[in-house]
Amino acid sequence: MNHPQYGDEVNLNVDNEWSNLDIANLKAQSVLAILRNQNADGAIIASPDFAQYHYSWLRDGSFIAYALDHAGEHEAASRFHSWVTRTLDGIGESIDDVVAKMLNGQEVDPLHMPPARFSLTNSTEPDDWPNFQIDGYGTWLWALGRHMEMTGIGVLSESLRTTVDRVARYLSTYAFSPCYDVWEESRSGLHTSTLACVYGGLCTAAHLLGNGEYLLRASDVAKRVRDSSLPLGRYVKSNESNDVDSSILWLGTPFNVVSSTDEVFAATVREIENALTLKGGLRRYPTDVYFGSGAWPVLTASLGWHFVATGNLSEAIRCRDWIVQRFDDQGRLGEQFFGETRDSTSYSKWVDLWGPPAKDLVWSHAMFIILCEEIESALAVSGSTSNLRQTNNEKGAS
């Protein structure tokens, strides 16, 4: 097939029959969407059209780098990891400082914790963003480990060793400190999905560094997560909320804190689907109000990824096709959908504050790529390729 080139006009037949849509072509467009939002240094902005997202987040960027690796764009993934490494080396002293303060029992101002996102012009520019979010640091270590595996890099260079060790020490020290969650909210909680990311990062660091202490700390994290499921027989959003949150899906895939087929986890996934499905996609959590709390491609892809892991390919394909329907006629894939009709009051409040939600979110493209790749690999293993081009009979939102 002909892959589109950078700068080509996107010509998606979104109004026509789905059977005409070539998933591979769409995936290639998503790869281009990522590449054109990466700067020469390797940083990747979260969204080109939403001013608040003109930053490079560790969280978004790490999933994006994994998608790039999945799509064979190893050089671009490598540039992201090099940019993170340089950026974290640049704030190395302040990371070491907050670790030392915690170990000495000193107070640390959350505003002075290592950043969750970095500006492209000045990586260490201070701002009043809720910085104290440790999940992105864990996700970065995890994505770096996957990058090394997928590119056959067996050992860390000496300088990268220092960075990985520093980040792992930070995670290990702050694993059980309440911080902002993956949605940059709820500062005072211990969040299940944050713990999942920390676990993924610590396991990767333990493996890369041959450090058993990080592995022990990771098992403490896993135990804490498992214990949190005991009262309700399912996982919860945080130690402050018994709600579910779609990001809990990451406990199974990709971070492997629990087995994707585990019964308690399966009960959690059912509850997530029951409580958070909106017109076929997944919302973040029940009381969410951000832009009316629409359904997110990032989370619907996470659900699809889970279905691949549990061998339910038809549901995985349903999730993929839901995302396919969310691309606009310029090939953009937004952050969330249908919030304006679900809760028009909250939607309007956010629009008044920040303008309409991101029309093109790079993380959405990344998760779409990951899900497509996972489905293709699973179909290849099962010896079938016939489902690669699905006919979607449920045209439009249900």
Q: Looking at 55-63, 206-214, 369-377, 390-398, which segment touches ligand BGC (CB under 6 A)? A: 55-63
CA angle (226 as vertex; 216, 66 as ends), nearest 5: 70
CA distance 154 to 162: 16
Q: Contact letters (x/-) for ligand BGC, 339-378, by CB under 6 A?
A: ------------------------x---------------
Helices (H), 106-252: 135-151, 158-174, 192-209, 212-228
CA angle (254 as vertex; 249, 259 as ends), nearest 5: 70
Judge whether 184 counts as a catalytic residue.
yes
Of 184 and 245, which has the nearer Cβ to ligand BGC? 184
Q: Does 53 bind ligand BGC (CB under 6 A)?
A: yes
Q: Does 202 bind ligand BGC (CB under 6 A)?
A: no
Helices (H), 9-91: 23-35, 58-70, 74-90
Q: Please say whether the beta carbons of 163 and 177 come within 8 A.
A: no
Of 99 and 301, which has the nearer Cβ to ligand BGC? 301
Other beta carbons within 10 angstroms of residue 287's beta carbon come to 9
Give Cβ neighbours of residue 266 (< 8 Å, ≥ 6 apart). Answer: 310
Residue 281's φ and ψ, nearest 5 degrees, are: -110, 180
313-324 and 23-35 are packed helices; what angle lies between their axes, rounded to 10 degrees? 60
Q: Identify the H or E element spanning 55.
A: strand 55-57
Of 59 and 79, which has the nearer Cβ to ligand BGC? 59
Q: Contact letters (x/-) for ligand BGC, 5-44, by CB under 6 A?
A: ----------------------------------------
**Position 206: which residue type?**
A
Q: Please say whether the beta carbons of 244 and 272 come within 8 A.
A: yes
Of 129 and 176, which has the nearer Cβ to ligand BGC? 129
Other beta carbons within 10 angstroms of residue 62's beta carbon come to 32
CA distance 124 to 253: 32
Smallest separation, CB 366 to ligand BGC (Å): 11
Judge whether 220 counts as a catalytic residue.
no
Judge whether 263 counts as a catalytic residue.
no
Of 99 and 254, which has the nearer Cβ to ligand BGC? 254
Smallest separation, CB 313 to ligand BGC (Å): 28
Catalytic residue among 181, 321, 340, 374: 181
Of 92 and 130, which has the nearer Cβ to ligand BGC? 130
Q: Looking at 57-65, 144-152, 201-209, 229-237, which segment touches ligand BGC (CB under 6 A)? A: 57-65
Q: Which of 59, 70, 79, 166 binds ligand BGC (CB under 6 A)?
A: 59
CA distance 115 to 130: 8
Q: Looking at 9-17, 54-62, 300-308, 345-353, which segment touches ligand BGC (CB under 6 A)? A: 54-62
Q: Which of 46, 167, 175, 225 binds ligand BGC (CB under 6 A)?
A: 46
Q: Please say whether the beta carbons of 156 and 163 come within 8 A.
A: no
Q: Contact letters (x/-) for ligand BGC, 174-193, by CB under 6 A?
A: --------xxx---------
Residues marked as catalytic: 181, 184, 335
Binding residues vs ligand BGC (CB under 6 A): 46, 53, 57, 59-60, 182-184, 363
